[in-house]
Amino acid sequence: MNKDFCFKSAYIALNFSFNEKLIYPLTDRGLGSELNNLLLTAVYCLVNKKQLVLYDSNWNSGRFEYYFEPFCQRFKGIVEIPNYIFGDGGKKRKIYKKIHYYLYPRYQLLDSSVWKEIRNPKLQSQKINIPELAFDGSSFDLLYILEKYILQYNTKTKNNIYKEVNKKSWNTFSGIHVRRGDKLIREAGLFNVKCYLEKGNEKGFDMHNLFVASDNFQVLEELENYNSYIEYISYCEPSDTGHHQKSFNNQATSNIESQVVRLLIEIEILSLTKCFVGTFSSNIGRLVHLKRNTLNSYSLDSDWSL
């Protein structure tokens, strides 16, 4: 790529050039889910020549610009939250869609039919060529690049994150992300801490110097009981009893913003450790795997997929 080529400027211009618009709504789901799905939607829009438009007026974490630099148009109408992407949403949703397309005929909603196209396995194996972006590669390659430019921290967020990141040489640590809370109710199985350590050892890494990201303080207690000789650093607090999205959504705005920044710090650190062990059923694990460009990144459950 030409050193004078500015990917973000080229992306913004190309995205704006598409006539058909698709609204990506930031909603009431978890942060990792929202960011991963935003990136997947960006790939889908580029491949299908649709303009990606962002709706964040009812995002549980505030506004996109609270944390990141703007990269596309914001939709200023109303989008129904929660956003139904796993079904038609019933009669109420159908009425809403009719009203929406009457008021905003050029703005396509991200519904279940579009969602199936975004997560289509064919897109994962598809070779993508976008001359305007000087890009020729896989969907994962494109996601890796888009993450750097679409999820570009604003100055305040960047300062808050790197104030913590710069405290240590994280490439001397191994990193694990242990998700508990509501993730275990329907979407994922429970893995004991020793499973993460054994996986790292199996891949040839020393797991005695750890960065531990988790939503449950009991994970740290479990780690200490398993091996008291392990040294670790974690932002997990005694009050952390597992992430539950409904409880998170009902917090004060200031608490939500501080927790979002903490999670972004953890993601950034996990992207810098010498190895990462997590679960790809977790969107945090998937995002870390992407930021690491797969380098020394391992899952205890599913493989990475779109």
Q: How confident is the model at residue 4 (pLDDT cuts 50, 70, 90)?
A: low
Interval 211-263: pLDDT, tens: 999 999 999 999 999 988 999 999 999 988 776 777 777 788 788 999 999 99
Flag whether pLDDT at 1 surpasses 70. no
Contacts within 8 Å (CB) and 24+ apart, 88-94? 88/112
Residues near 194 by beta carbon (within 8 Å), at least 6 away in sequence: 226
Flag whether pLDDT at 73 surpasses 80. yes
Flag whether pLDDT at 93 surpasses 60. yes
Note whether 180 and 242 are within 8 A (CB). yes
Residues near 252 by beta carbon (within 8 Å), at least 6 away in sequence: none
**Section 192-215 average pLDDT:** 96
Task: Report phi then psi at 77, rounded to 5.
Answer: -85, -150
Q: What is the pLDDT of residue 83?
A: 73
**Section 81-92 average pLDDT:** 74
**Section 92-99 average pLDDT:** 88
| Measured torsion, CA atoms of residues 265, 267, 120, 55, in degrees rounded to the nearest 10 | -10
Of 10 and 188, more confident: 10
Q: What is the mean pLDDT of the chain?
A: 91
Q: How confident is the model at residue 2 (pLDDT cuts 50, 70, 90)?
A: low
Flag whether pLDDT at 183 surpasses 70. no
Interval 140-168: pLDDT, tens: 999 999 999 999 999 999 999 999 999 99
Flag whether pLDDT at 56 surpasses 70. yes
Q: How confident is the model at residue 185 (pLDDT cuts 50, 70, 90)?
A: very low
* CA diameter of the chain: 64
Distance separating alpha carbons of residues 186 and 214, to the nearest angstrom: 18
pTM value?
Answer: 0.92
Pairing of strands 297-299, 174-178: unpaired
Q: Which residue has the tokens 């019933």?
A: 90
Whether omega before 82 lies within 30 degrees of 0, making that bond cis, reads yes
Which of 102-106, 181-185, 260-264 has the lowest average pLDDT? 181-185
Q: What is the pLDDT of residue 82?
A: 76
Pairing of strands 128-130, 135-137: antiparallel
Q: How confident is the model at residue 121 (pLDDT cuts 50, 70, 90)?
A: confident
**Section 193-200 average pLDDT:** 96
Q: What is the pLDDT of residue 189?
A: 67
Flag whether pLDDT at 45 surpasses 60. yes
